[in-house]
Structure 1
Amino acid sequence: MTPKQRTAAVVGGGIGGLATALHLRNNGWSVDVFERARGLPEVGTALGLWPAALAALDALGVGAQVRSLSRPQTAGAFLRPDGGRIATLDIAALERRTGDVVRLVSRPDLLALLYGAAGEGAVAFGERIADIRSLDGSYDVVVAADGLNSAARTALFGPRYRARYVGASSWRGTVDGETGSVTETWGEGLRFGVTPTSGGRTNWFACAVAPEGQRDPGHEVATLRAWFGHWHTGVRGIVDRLTEPEVLRLDLYHLDPPLPSHVKGRTALIGDAAHAMTPDLGRGACEALVDGVELARALTAAPDVPTALRAYDRARRPATQRLARTARLMNRMAHARRLTGLRNAAMRTAIAVGGPPA
């Protein structure tokens, strides 16, 4: 007798959700993906794919394609507003340790590639699942990949576990022109990041301590120029080219307190739904990819779904919650307004001793 095909529902068709669906489908599962957006995004900022995320993409069979449409990070540094160096990222050491480097790719390009690998019609767009518990009993497993303000997380664990404002806003966008390296410049309660991206453009972001929800429509560029227009030329050259329509402002959040489990019944949470963290390590998309692949591997290898979900939770919850704590600590350091010399020295020591997690 032919064994019954196993079934999964994935709520959220972003990077983590698509990774989970693709891996399960490659291993014989029937997967329905529900995405509330009406289509794939056409614009978005650059992502840094760390070696663990690249290994996950290799497991999905798309690693070579990602490498062909991305570019390697060849250098990285933390700077002071005058351009002086706080610390340098040893890219060569990372490659020696892991066999790979960080690769930079735009979010829309990565999503389009994963969607293409999953196949036409793999995602049901415009489908909002009001209560993930309504899927219980209809599938062997349900995967919650519905992001920062996860309705699934609230339904399963209650409103105590929610995304909370960290006290800082971010501005981001892209400008024409190449930049050769990744830099973050730290001032007093302010910082500015620069990242190469595809198409001869440069991705940038800025962060500042600000009240939650504060906006200044039509004047965000003027604010950024007032804060950063006197910083070193690498920052000033980008700020001078900003135009109001291209600036996106978002508040920064993290999940607090952390979840007691990434699993409830036959539902598993992945990505930001499970462990939303501040973007300070650049690891949100990376960890969603790894979550998706590790969850699918466990479901494929274990004798039953409950065993697989326990294995997934043991493997991923400690690691991701440790990264989330590190990201939050770095966020606090970056936005310090006093004793910035001591902060810079601490950052320099941390990079020299431990280096970034791969």
Structure 2
Amino acid sequence: MGKRAVVVGGGIGGLAAAIGLRRVGWEVMVVERAVELDDVGAGISLAANGLRALDELGVGEAVRAASRGQYTGGTRTPDGRWLARMDGAALEKAVGTPIMGIPRATLHRLLRAALPVEVLLVGQEARVVRQCGPEGVRVECGDTVLEADVIVAADGVGSKVRGLLLPAHPGPVHSGSAVLRAITEQAVELRTDFELTWGRGAEFGHIAFPDGRAEWHAVLNLPTGVRFDDPLGELRRRFSTWHEPIRALLDSTNPGDVLHHDVNELRTPLPSYVIGSVALLGDAAHAMTPNLGQGACQALEDAVTLAAALGSEPTVEAALARYDAERRPRSQAVARAARQAGRMGQQLAHPLPVALRNTAMRLTPSRAAVRMILRHHDWTPPSLGSKGVG
């Protein structure tokens, strides 16, 4: 079979797919509509499954060196009482690594550094994707036309490629929540590596980084499209009675660094992640709520699984069928679990369900909590071998 691929989207999933495909001997071009691949974003937690995928891509060591392990912390109530403690050491013993916290921009930069500059086509939007015969597919980006054997659609939750190929699908819907987040300008004195605090219809959390700075996020039950003139002032008001270090994190943030996004998801599962010679990947295939911290990890799993299939199956058709069969059930199950976690966590607003949830969490043994985490974290990637380029 041929070995030319075009990846639409230069985010984490798209870059990871390009690295994987090159490692199995494919020629790759990444098309990204942004004029510059800026290193932007807040923070991200990488669980064992995502780290194992990065290891198979050859960048795991660099990512770990830029990350901070999450050994301490857990989930609290607004007055500071603990609902559940994190046992990072037990998780590390079970799967070989703790969860790692890293700035999203750093992860993006490390992935980009693993690719030659000439495979990145920036400032171009894939406007037309069409099948051209049984053995190929074409992407038209303005005056640029790219022909390939496979297209990887990694263009996010609002994927235009998905919309072109599956026009009857309802697309992403609003989850009922919005997230505001930022990275502090300077180091903040923190007693834990990672925390979540659940109130009524609101969550505040932080991820500590190796340099002492931290990412914080606030998830609120909000209608779509709501924005604040003074986001930091609004958050100081909403969380004024919540425990420290919430105030310290907000006070250490540049107002211009606050990001505000509606949380959208693909609530209606896709019937397939493959349409002809096009493979949907990451948020384009299974955009999920952030309540399990698995969005990026699932995209990394997608990337390695797709590359392994295209590197070993005799035909593109067989490889893409294998990719769909392996990835769709798992990623859609994780998406359902993330939605349920949000409904039982941050989105709960009535006092009685909140009290029942808190009691259940306090009574859950730590071993049981670790077993629940392992359902999503304990994943073994397929081997990419070493026949391609790094």
TM-score range, shorter chain: over 0.9
Give the TM-score taking structure 1 as reference length: 0.94
Q: Deviations over 1:176-210 (max 9, x none)?
A: 22433200000011110111124321110001111
> CA–CA distance in 1 between the matches of 2:87 and 2:127?
46
Q: Does 1:30 pair with 2:27?
A: yes
**Match runs of 1:159-308 below 5 Å:** 159-175=168-184, 176-178=186-188, 179=190, 180-217=192-229, 219-308=230-319
Q: Find the counterpart in structure 1 of residue 383 from structure 2.
A: none
C-alpha distance 147-293 of structure 1, shift in aligned 2 (>3 A): same
User: 1:237: Cα distance to partner?
Assistant: 2.2
Contact residue 9 and residue 141 of structure 1 kept, 8 A: yes
TM-score w.r.t. length of structure 2: 0.86
Contact 2:174 2:263 in 1 (8 A): yes
Contact 1:5–1:30 under 8 Å retained in 2: no
How far apart are the structure 2 equivalents of 1:351 and 1:345?
Answer: 14
Q: Find the residue that maps to 1:133 and give its secondary structure.
A: strand
CA contact (8 A) 1:40 1:111 kept: no
Q: Deviations over 1:150-180 (max 9, x none)?
A: 0111111125331110111111012222433
Aligned pairs (5 A) from 1:1-358? 6-133=3-130, 136=137, 138-175=147-184, 176-178=186-188, 179=190, 180-217=192-229, 219-333=230-344, 334-338=346-350, 339=352, 340-348=354-362, 349=364, 353=368, 354-356=371-373, 357-358=376-377
Contact 1:173–1:246 under 8 Å retained in 2: yes
AA matched with 2:359? A
What amino acid is aligned across from residue 70 of structure 1 in structure 2? S
Percentage of pairs with the same residue: 41
Contact 1:133 1:155 in 2 (8 A): no
Structure 2, unaligned runs of 5 or more: 139-146, 378-390
- Write the letter of the residue equivalent to 1:344: N
Superposition deviation, residue 19 in structure 1 = 1.1
Once residues 40 and 202 of structure 2 are traced to their aligned partners in structure 1, the CA distance between those partners, rounded to angstroms, is 26
Query: Which digits, 9 at most, give the CA deviation of each residue in 1:76-99, with x for residues without a partner?
Result: 301000100111222222212211
Q: Which moved more, 1:138-147 or 1:196-205?
A: 196-205
Query: RMSD of the TM alignment (CA)?
Result: 1.8
CA–CA distance in structure 2, aligned partners of residues 236 and 243 of structure 1: 13
How many residues were matched structurally? Answer: 354
| Cα shift readout 1:273-311 (whole Å, capped 9, x = no counterpart) | 000001111111111111011100001011111111111
Cα deviations across residues 31-65 of structure 1 (Å, max 9, x unaligned)? Answer: 11101112222332111111111111111111111
Distance 1:65 1:167, change over 3 A: same
